[in-house]
Structure 1
Amino acid sequence: MLNTGGNEVDEAVASMVALLRPAVNRDWAGVAAGPLDWDCRQTAEHVASDLVAYAGQLAGREQSRYVPFDITIDGREGGLDPADNEGILDVITTTGALLTAAVRTAPRDVRAFHPYPFRSANREGFAAMGIAEVLLHAHDMAEGLGLLPYEPPAHLAEFVLTRIFPSVRPGPDHWQTLLWATGRADLPGRARLTEWHWTNNLVLDTERLRLEGVTPAAAADLSAGGTGGFDWIEGGPFEGTRDAAGMVTKAYQAGVHRPEFGLYVLVRREDDRAVGGMGFHGAPDEDGKAEVGYDLAEPARGNGYATEALRTLAGWALARDDVRSLFATVEPHNIPSQAVITRVGFTPVSEEGEVDEDGLRAYELRG
């Protein structure tokens, strides 16, 4: 079963607190947090602020902006003495518990605002972002306080990488790969990064469907026979969706995966049930051509879902500067599939009745 991240948030926070507790009697405000411009106290406060902000976004389901609130840790507004380092760790534990609760209780289809890069994230995305903030800033504080080496559980770094760093080629050491992906470490054979960002999955909406971008974690689960974290109708996922998930997994492992040109699962908005898969066979080539493919679980066929989804996906792709045409191949006897791409506007590439070396008929749609 694909984890949604609640347990992992708990584990990450516990790892950070266990690392820092032996240093609670140190002057955190007088020590820089590794490469950051913040001192260690400011960094710890930042972690707590992010955890409660992510919990608030997800629980409140804000769609257009960050909810405009913040937390005060030092106690001065209540007439209390400033919080000591032990108190700051208590706040991190508490705000981590709030994010865990928000992740565990959020329905699968809930998304909330996050600015980068597609202006929303789901519960796994918020969990992964929270875990990243905790682990990476624990590392920064450990560097400043002389507590290195810090080595959190490897599966926590893997959780982050496979949810919000889909374009980063995985390495044998997940933690070192995450440090490299955030500009904090070197990896053999890879240039040191000076700029980086994480990437939540893209979702495209139609009237009746959501096209939900599949993360490397979900793709690996689908290709291995799992659900990918989706609630499928009977008969799904169909064979083509599992094959496409395998293509995503291979591209991710090779470091050439571009998530927006990967696999999307088609989810009915009315009941959050997955009905099929659609996506690209890879990024556009040097001529701006990208190949698309799709399938539906048998009970979902005949409802116009494929046409509706393909029209939206094609419109999104052809509005980009790096896509000039879309390409699809269909078996000659698959009349329903031919009807789908014809309704969307694809036209035959070759003469009527002509097929390629694989026995497929080619169609093209130009922007």
Structure 2
Amino acid sequence: MFLATLVCVFFTYGWFWSNGRPLGDPETTRQSALFAAGLMSILLAHELGHYVVARRHGFALSLPYFIPFPFAFGTFGAIIRLRSLPRSRTGLLEMGAAGPIAGAVVAIIVMAIGLPDTLPPQSIDPAAGLMDTEIPGVLLTVLHAIDRVLSWGPIGDLLAWFATPVPEGHVPVAIFNNPPIMDLLGTLILGAPPGRFDTLSPLALAGWVGCLLTAINLVPIGQLDGGHVLTAVAPKVASRLSRVLLVVVLIGGSMLWLGWAFWAVLLWRLGAWRNLDVPEHPPLTPRARTIAGVVLVLFALTFMPAPVEMDSMPAAPAEAATPGAGPAPAEPAP
């Protein structure tokens, strides 16, 4: 499944984020390969962190299962199935924390390598790969082929109700907000954080996705990594807090980003909101308490209340576009 997920990430980036042919255009192939290598390195480090530390503490567990997904960023991450309950609070905490810490270290390295290739904002026009499309009666300029497919399908009428109002002479764009660690790295490497409308390089985007996955995993709910840490630190109240936080994420979080509602519903449907049982004794070791503090700092550095939001920016006049620079828009399927 690792290879299947790697291939899926490669093609998903090439088609949806680079707006080209992953195997037909050398530059798109290069960008897709960089993104796939960066993101899969982060996921692999995360899962190996869990696996190695869990084995050291005597857990019975499966190898990581990587999950391909042909939309968004090409993967739903990976899972490891525990075949035995934790023997101690320290073992549970160190196992739960090892994955996010290892993955975040690789994500920071990948992001640092990719940030110097970040592109400043330019006028949005066909030379940047944009295409005209429309939701019934609403002309839009879009970057990704999938947007055109949706606009031609039955869902187009529904999208018309949710189309973000855009001022005249502007076009809608999706904004990936910076996690605090990206602001810090940008200041150290570029002299300033990446701007709101900057285009992240493939490796910088892979690092951004790694931060997003780290933050989601560290939300202290149930069988997420953050839930394991919470259970180890406060086993008596962890289950009650998890239920409260699940509702907070579902209702409060979805007001900032609908993705939070998706993850909350997924956790509920899978039953993953339930915390593992762990013996109260022996108590946590000093090292485990220090690791819990590291996890808290890591969550603060990677968390984004609204990872993605819609905005708009000025469109360039049509005559400013470089003829033939962008890919020709595909014809709608009959």
Does TM, scored on the shorter chain, surpass 0.5? no
**TM-score normalised according to structure 1 size:** 0.28
Normalized per residue, the structure richer in helix is 2
Give the structure, 1 or 2, with the largest relative contact order (CA under 8 Å, sep 6 or more): 2
**TM-score normalised according to structure 2 size:** 0.31
